[in-house]
Amino acid sequence: MAKRPEWLDSAVFYEIYPQSFKDTDGDGIGNINGITEKLPYIKELGCTAIWMNPCFDSPFGDAGYDVSDYCKVAPRYGTNDDLVHLFDEAHRLGMHVLLDLVPGHTSWEHPWFKESMKAERNEYTDRYVWTDSIWERPEGYGSLRGISERDGSCAVNFFTHQPALNYGWYKPSRPWQQAMDSEGATATREAMKDVMRFWLSRGCDGFRVDMAGSLVKNDEDGKGTIALWQNVRAFLDEEFPEAAMVSEWGEPRQSLAGGFHMDFLLHFGESHYNDLFRCGKPFFGGKGDASAFVAKYIDSYERSQRRGLICIPSGNHDMDRLARHIKGDARKLAFAFLLSMPGAPYIYYGDEIGMNYVEGLRSVEGGYGRTGSRSPMQWDSSANAGFSSAPAEKLYIPIDPDPARPTAKAQMKDADSLRSEVKKLIGVRQAHKALQSLGEIEFVCDGAPGKPLAYIRSSGDERILVIVNPTDNTADITVNGTPGETVYSFGGAPVISGNSVRINGGSAAFVKI
Ligand code: BGC
């Protein structure tokens, strides 16, 4: 099993999209010093760690997921020294920082790619996935063709401007498909280790790894990619055993075998995450069905040896804001769930105050439909919601124009606000090991239509029954054990009789058993 940093087990993360968090130099775009300035706000909420979206040099065709220099902070965000200062300040406050590692592709403006496009062989010829003729495309992948002197098509991973780095093919079947242990694929892997080494040795605490499961090509059941990450794991165990690794993979069975500490539950594929928060009838809207999510969750849990390391985010920069689909106090119930599940919870900046999806925006930096979830943080009721002193028309993305938009300042003063509830829930999680990352989970009720979600979290002798009931119905949950102290409730105190607990519709309770 991977060596692991202890802080990860009780971590509650806050995800920051650097463009939109806090601008301290008045250019209309957030920066690293803005994040540093706001660390006390994040700590006050109770979060212990942050994940920052990519902040490296980039032409920003995909908001920075198109890197052109992995070892240089993009000037618009500041300098490498500013980032090191952020690490230092976070550590001084007892917090940790994960950077976003994008190992699968670069920008087509990366110097590696420019070299790789040349007809003459050079050090970077095999850095990307190329066919050996412009007329042959890499089957199963998009491709870049006709833009280089080199005769070949280059596979792309996401947008057209993001050529795929070469980690080899699981089972090469064409002459141009390189093996995983070929010189080119090995050099790419080692180059990515150098990037990790660069930031880890400067104080970064680990990485959220973008599209971590897609590096080796034609690797249907992930065996090649798992082996690749095991190789990286050996390097980390040797040089940086304290580094935390969290994957965007969506298959904990595979990612944990590859040596990641935790994996994200994804909002696409078969996770049924959207059944809970983002669909026509989301479970937390009160009328939905969580049972398919629970079935898939249990399946992943069992297949990863009951290791509760699946991180469930409140949202992220790729999906609709939670508040677009879940209204009013139902958001508090959504957080009661998010903050009582195994794995580390991730709060997307602004979700703690119920920031809205801003409708009708023009796409910014490859955001398209994602742009509305990336609007500036709303700090207070001053100009630009306290985000920036730039003229409103110079902001990276416009502020939510709703005059009733929530702000952090107002919610911090209001004991009944969403933010106050989120803060309370984080405090309850931090006070009970059973509710934290490694505590076990056993479902008691699967949130089928009209029913609550109920599960028992346990660690050592501590057992806590969690019931989250966004439906209109009163719910009775019977357990094997004696319900005792209520450690958290919202929407009315639970009524305990014998071995059963009754809670109202629209409420949540955590009860020791
Ligand atoms: C990131 C996206 C990005 C894509 C390509 C994703 O998983 O979260 O924002 O566009 O990877 O790098």
Provide the CATH number for the domain around residue 217: 3.20.20.80
| 175 in any annotated domain | no
Name the pairing type of β-strands 462-469 and 453-459: antiparallel
Same domain, 199 and 288: yes
Q: What was the pLDDT predicted at 2?
A: 73
- The neighbouring-strand residues paired with 508 are 468, 490
Q: Which atom of ligand 1 is nearest to the CA of 158?
A: 5
Same domain, 399 and 453: no
Contact 478, 445 (CB under 8 A): no
Mean pLDDT of all residues in the chain?
97
Percent of the chain with pLDDT over 90: 97
Gap from CA of 406 to ligand 1 centroid (Å): 28
Q: What was the pLDDT predicted at 160?
A: 97
Burial of 359 (0-12, 13-18, 19+ CB in 10 A): exposed
Same domain, 193 and 92: yes
Q: What was the pLDDT predicted at 309?
A: 83
Give mean pLDDT, residues 244-262: 96
For the stretch 404-420, pLDDT in tens is 999 999 999 999 999 99
Same domain, 149 and 267: no
Atom 2 of ligand 1, residue of closest alpha carbon: 318
| 480 in any annotated domain | yes
Ligand 1 contact via 374 beta carbon (within 6 Å): no
Same domain, 11 and 81: yes
Contact 354, 406 (CB under 8 A): yes
Same domain, 48 and 33: yes
For the stretch 123-166, pLDDT in tens is 999 999 999 999 999 999 999 999 999 999 999 999 999 999 99
Gap from CA of 492 to ligand 1 centroid (Å): 41
Name the pairing type of β-strands 453-459 and 440-446: antiparallel
Where helices occur in 208-319 by DSSP H, the ranges are: 223-239, 252-257, 273-277, 291-303
Burial of 408 (0-12, 13-18, 19+ CB in 10 A): buried
Q: How far apart are CA 105 and CA 103, in angstroms?
A: 6
User: Confidence band (pLDDT; 50, 70, 90) for 3?
Assistant: confident
Atom 3 of ligand 1, residue of closest alpha carbon: 65
Domain that residue 63 falls in: 6-104+185-428
| 173 in any annotated domain | no
| 507 in any annotated domain | yes
Judge whether residue 323 has pLDDT over 80: yes
Same domain, 218 and 292: yes
Gap from CA of 463 to ligand 1 centroid (Å): 38
Same domain, 136 and 257: no
Q: What is the dihedral of CA 102, 106, 109, 114, to 10 degrees?
A: 140
**Hey, which of 211, 255, 319, 364 would you mutate to test ligand 1's pocket, going by the most ligand atoms within 8 Å of its Cβ?**
211
CATH number at residue 453: 2.60.40.1180
Q: Which of 109, 110, 243, 100 is nearest to 188 (CA)?
A: 110
| 178 in any annotated domain | no
For the stretch 440-491, pLDDT in tens is 999 999 999 999 999 999 999 999 999 999 999 999 999 999 999 999 999 9
For the stretch 190-229, pLDDT in tens is 999 999 999 999 999 999 999 999 999 999 999 999 999 9
Query: Final residue of a domain: which of 383, 398, 428?
Result: 428
Same domain, 409 and 506: no
- What total of structural domains would you count in the chain? 3
| 433 in any annotated domain | no
Q: How far apart are CA 126 and CA 184, in angstroms?
A: 5
Same domain, 196 and 237: yes
Give how far the C-alpha of residue 28 lies from the chain's centroid of Cα atoms, to the nearest Å. Answer: 25
Same domain, 317 and 377: yes
Q: What was the pLDDT predicted at 1?
A: 63
| 176 in any annotated domain | no
| 1 in any annotated domain | no
For the stretch 395-406, pLDDT in tens is 999 999 999 999
For the stretch 37-76, pLDDT in tens is 999 999 999 999 999 999 999 999 999 999 999 999 999 9
CATH number at residue 120: 3.90.400.10
Percent of the chain with pLDDT over 70: 100
Gap from CA of 248 to ligand 1 centroid (Å): 9
Ligand 1 contact via 179 beta carbon (within 6 Å): no
For the stretch 356-378, pLDDT in tens is 999 999 999 999 999 999 999 99
Contact 271, 265 (CB under 8 A): yes
Same domain, 25 and 74: yes
Ligand 1 contact via 65 beta carbon (within 6 Å): yes
Q: What was the pLDDT predicted at 305?
A: 85
Ligand 1 contact via 272 beta carbon (within 6 Å): no
Tokens 């880890």, located at residue: 200
